[in-house]
């Protein structure tokens, strides 16, 4: 079966050797983040986080950092490039450019979050 990042049934059971050999296929999937992530990433100040979330979302959308904001859940969807790469994925190194400050969603994938817990869309270099 050919591995397809959009079809979790094709994913492989996660193994901690995957990340060093992978082209960051998981960073080509939609990522939802919270206000706390935005503050850690220095994309929002503490004051903004306590103020109008709609206003913050409007600014981040205008700057091209987020694609959308879901009011009910307070989740912001990070922008993906035309090739599906995450806004923060370095196109040359295929590494996260904000790794130390990366969103909680990324830290928890695939052990805690993701469409198929414990499985990974790893594509080797």
Q: Is 10 left (phi over 0), alpha (psi -120 to 50) or beta?
A: alpha
Contact pick of 35, 44, 89, 120 for ligand SF4 (by CB under 6 A): 89
Mark the segment that binds ligand SF4 (CB under 6 A) among 2-10, 56-64, 67-75, 83-91. 83-91
Contact pick of 32, 106, 114, 120 for ligand SF4 (by CB under 6 A): 106
* Residue 75 CB-half CA count within 13 A: 12
Contact pick of 44, 57, 65, 86 for ligand SF4 (by CB under 6 A): 86
Q: Is 103 in the site for ligand SF4 (CB under 6 A)?
A: yes
The minimum distance between CB 109 and ligand SF4, in angstroms, equals: 8
DSSP per position, 81-110: -TTS-BTTB-TTT-SBTTGGG--HHHHHTT
């Amino acid at each position: 079966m050919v591995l397809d990042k959009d079809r979790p049934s094709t994913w492989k059971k996660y193994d901690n050797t995957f990340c060093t050999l992978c082209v960051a296929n998981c960073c080509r999937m939609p990522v939802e983040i919270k206000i706390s992530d935005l503050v850690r990433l220095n994309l929002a100040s503490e004051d903004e986080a306590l103020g109008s979330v709609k206003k913050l979302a409007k600014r981040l959308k205008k700057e091209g950092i987020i694609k959308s904001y879901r009011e009910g859940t307070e989740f912001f969807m990070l922008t993906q490039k035309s090739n599906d790469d995450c806004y923060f994925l370095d196109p040359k190194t295929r590494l996260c450019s904000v790794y130390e400050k990366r969103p909680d969603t990324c830290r928890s994938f695939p052990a805690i979050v993701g469409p198929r817990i414990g499985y990974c869309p790893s594509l080797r270099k």
